[in-house]
Amino acid sequence: MPEITPKFDIILDRDGVINLDSDAYVKSADEWISIDSSIQAIANLHKAGHRLFIASNQSGVGRGFFTLDDLNAMHEKMLNLIHQAGGKITDIAFCPHTPDDQCDCRKPKPGLLTSLANTHHISLNSAIVIGDSLRDLQAATNVGSKAFLVLTGKGKKTLQENPNLPYPIFETLYDASQSILT
């Protein structure tokens, strides 16, 4: 009998994990540039039967740096690239608020993850959250998910500031995907 590989619900941060991050914010579809191999990683995970989601803080909306239409255009570009590679993102949850808004959805608070879980019947205890910042990892821990750190985006800085993180660490989303797939 063939060995059955478990299928996971995988929740990805966006900026710094899937696309290049910017301290000046990614404000348009033109500025949204995928990280080499991240699109292929998503496609490979999808083709293997995993469900993929995105949970992303997007305070640039609340700060007035870009509009919801701009954000939707970025997501459309990303989803088109993923689809062309044979992948699929089941849903995108984002927090448009600033830290001053004291909302429940801005990571490290659990709102984005619990919203996805409620909508898509995700068992957060068996889900994997992949991010490049401490707040991504904390959000995962806060809901009982397994967290992976990638060293793209803010990942190297996150690791430098927190050298004893108890999470698996990978150079890129592609490397993390290979670990999941094997």
Distances (CA, A) of 158 to 64, 135, 155, 167: 26, 10, 5, 12
Cβ contacts of residue 44 below 8 Å, gap of 6+?
87, 177, 181
Closest CA to 172 of 44, 10, 9, 16: 16
**What span, in angstroms and rounded, lies between the C-alpha atoms of 149 and 167?**
7
- State the catalytic residues: 13, 15
- What's the angle, vertex CA 39, arms to CA 35 and CA 43, rounded to 5? 160
